Amino acid sequence: MKRLPEKGATWVEVKELLQASKTGDSEWKRGRLPLYVYWRDDELCQVAKEAASMFFMENGLGKKVFPSVQQLERDVVAMTLDLLNGGPNAVGNFTTGGTESIFLAVKTARDFARKERKAKGRLKIVAPLSAHPAFDKAAHYLDMEVVRTPLRQDFRGDPKAIENAVDDKTVMVVASAPAYPHGVFDPIEDIARIAIVKNLWLHVDACVGGMLAPFARDLGYDVPPFDFSVGGVTSMSADLHKYGLTAKGASVVLFKDEKYLDYLRFKFSHWPRGNYVTETFLGTRAASPVASAWAVMHYLGREGYQDIARTTLETKARFEVGISAIRGLEILKPNDLSFLLYRSNDKSVDIDAVAEGMSAKGWFVGRCNAPPSIHLMFNPVHAPVVQEYLNDLASVVDQVRSTGRIGSLDESTY
């Protein structure tokens, strides 16, 4: 068991130990990861790091003593609301990540339904099968139930199935922009119409697309309506530490009207220190991700984010052309924004064996279980490694075909 050292070490010694601990990590800077790290270049990273270091010790809980942090949060939320067509009454909060953003949206919807709709008992959320597990995690903690509905043949949520699953205990319906498993947008306008008719809270999870889709649309890519411009959308989640390229953890939860803040807040006064009020799950919160997000968003501006979107989507297109040219593989369609999934269309090429072969060559391989396929999500870090990946993939496919080796499906990786 690891114990606290009796004597301290020098920073040089500690730094060497930390560096050594990373030996087995994936080489994300070499484009080996299809997720977890979003990267453009050292220059942008330095902006994010230096801004974070300027607010390294400040505490986001202390609004009165750190008004600067509160203003930075307001600015980040306002800029994100502007991108996602929030109206004049729209509000939001800075959070640590998509899971907290979703948790807070679920909590707010539950408390709003209890007060305004007099909803009682164990309340329900209806979500497509492809919705993020964070909804179930939130429901677990909040004593709610998630009903997951089948997808259409195009992997998108099925509005009819959602409508049929709604009952008198349902308080929230969910749509994704896009959903992570297959990388496609749910038909948000159709789901919103159900929410309006049934008087339900509609949350759009744009943790992936929130900081990419607006700029893809700027560039002329076909992006379906998904944000507050769609009537019926009540709340949204959008991660800044994904395609916003800010330091982790940075996300926002957004609401179409400030009246919902009354149901977001946690208030407590039955202790000797008086009122305790928070609008996030956390109490003490690091201010450094807030400063990093503010700095990166100002540093890049709309043009910078358009360039990130262009690089990302052009990189995806190069991968798609290259993978389609490899005999035995096919691209799953549709695929939206930065996602690409491919599978085998040849009985002599087992896709799980291909995944194992690519892993052996140093690529982290994400897998989808239904249908069995390899899951990719691109960002600028992948632009330089397109041909290297395609060469390795072609080699692995040839090897699998010639040896006839059959892989075994591992537990799906996120």
Residue 410 has pLDDT above 50, yes or no: no
Residue 182's contacts (CB-CB under 8 Å, 6 or more residues apart) are: 130, 151, 155, 332, 335, 339, 341, 368
Residue 62 has pLDDT above 80, yes or no: no
Residue type, 83: L
Residue 243 confidence (pLDDT) above 80: yes
Listed range (31-45, 174-188, 335-349, 395-409) with the worst mean pLDDT: 395-409
Burial of residue 220 (number of CB atoms within 10 Å: 0-12, 13-18, 19+): exposed
pLDDT in tens, 67-88: 888 999 999 999 999 999 999 9
Positive or negative CA dihedral for 387, 244, 238, 233? negative
Structural contact between residues 61 and 284, judged by C-beta atoms closer than 8 angstroms = yes
Residue 187: both structure tokens together: 């038909």
**Model pLDDT for residues 199-218, shown as the tens digit of each residue:** 999 999 999 999 999 999 99
According to the model, what pLDDT value does residue 33 have?
74
**Mean of pLDDT values over 362-381:** 93
What number is the average pLDDT over the span 164-189? 97
Domain ranges of the chain: 48-298, 310-403
Give me the CATH topology for the region 48-298: Aspartate Aminotransferase; domain 2 (3.40.640)
Higher pLDDT pick, 274 / 396: 396
Residue 363's Cβ-count burial label (10 Å; 0-12, 13-18, 19+) is buried
- Name the pLDDT band for 34 (thresholds 50, 70, 90): confident
For residue 42, pLDDT beyond 60: yes
CATH topology of domain 310-403: Aspartate Aminotransferase, domain 1 (3.90.1150)
Q: Which pLDDT tens digit goes with each residue over 295-313?
A: 999 999 999 999 999 999 9
Q: What is the distance between the alpha carbons of residues 98 and 204, in angstroms, rounded to a whole number?
A: 12
pTM above 0.85, yes or no: yes
For residue 279, pLDDT beyond 90: no
Q: What is the pLDDT of residue 178?
A: 97
What is the rounded average pLDDT of the residues 172-195?
97
- Distance, in Å, from the CA atom of 279 to the CA atom of 286, rounded to the nearest integer, reads 15
Q: What is the mean pLDDT of the chain?
A: 92
Return the pLDDT at 21.
92
C-beta atoms surrounding 367 within 10 Å:
18
Q: Is the pLDDT of residue 4 over 60?
A: yes
3-state secondary structure the chain: CCCCCCCCCCHHHHHHHHHHHCCCCCCHHHCCCCCCCCCCCHHHHHHHHHHHHHCCCCECCCCCCCHHHHHHHHHHHHHHHHHCCCCCCCEEEEECCHHHHHHHHHHHHHHHHHHHCCCCCCCEEEEECCCCCHHHHHHHHCCCEEEEECECCCCCECHHHHHHHCCCCEEEEEEECCECCCCECCCHHHHHHHHHHHCCEEEEECCCCCCCHHHHHHCCCCCCCCCCCCCCCCEEEEECCCCCCCCCCCEEEEECCHHHHHHHCEEECCCCCCCEEECCCCCCCECHHHHHHHHHHHHHHHHHHHHHHHHHHHHHHHHHHHHHCCCCEEECCCCCCCEEEEEECCCCCCHHHHHHHHHHCCCCCEEECCCCEEEEECCHHHHHHHHHHHHHHHHHHHHHHHHCCCCCCCCCCC
Distances in whole angstroms, Cα of residue 319 to Cα of each of 325, 384, 390: 10, 11, 7
Cβ atoms of 361 and 371 closer than 8 Å: no
Task: Please indicate whether the domains covering 48-298 and 310-403 agree at the CATH topology level.
Answer: no
- 329 in Cβ contact with 205 (< 8 Å): no
At residue 411 the predicted structure's pLDDT band, cuts being 50, 70 and 90, is: very low
Closest CA to 172 of 145, 150, 152: 145
Confidence of residue 403 (pLDDT cuts 50, 70, 90): confident
The per-residue pLDDT for 124 is: 97
Please check the confidence at residue 24 and state whether its pLDDT lies above 90: no
CA distances to 205, 279, 329, 334, 337 from 184, in Å: 12, 31, 20, 7, 8
Classify residue 336 as left (phi > 0), alpha (psi -120 to 50) or beta.
beta
Distances (CA, A) of 87 to 223, 228, 258, 356, 391: 20, 8, 10, 48, 48
Residue owning tokens 């049929």: 164
Mean local confidence (pLDDT), 275-280: 82
Does the pLDDT of residue 408 top 70, yes or no? no
Q: What is the pLDDT of residues 109-154, one digit of tens each?
A: 999 999 999 988 999 999 999 999 999 999 999 999 999 999 999 9
> pLDDT exceeding 90 applies to what percent of the chain?
77
Residue 412 pLDDT class (50, 70, 90 cuts): very low
Instruction: Read off the pLDDT of each residue in 279-285 and give the average, rounded to a whole number.
Output: 82
Residue 409: predicted pLDDT = 41
Collect all residues with Cβ–Cβ distance below 8 Å to 266 and sequence separation of at least 6: 276, 277, 278, 279
| 405 — pLDDT class (breaks 50, 70, 90) | low
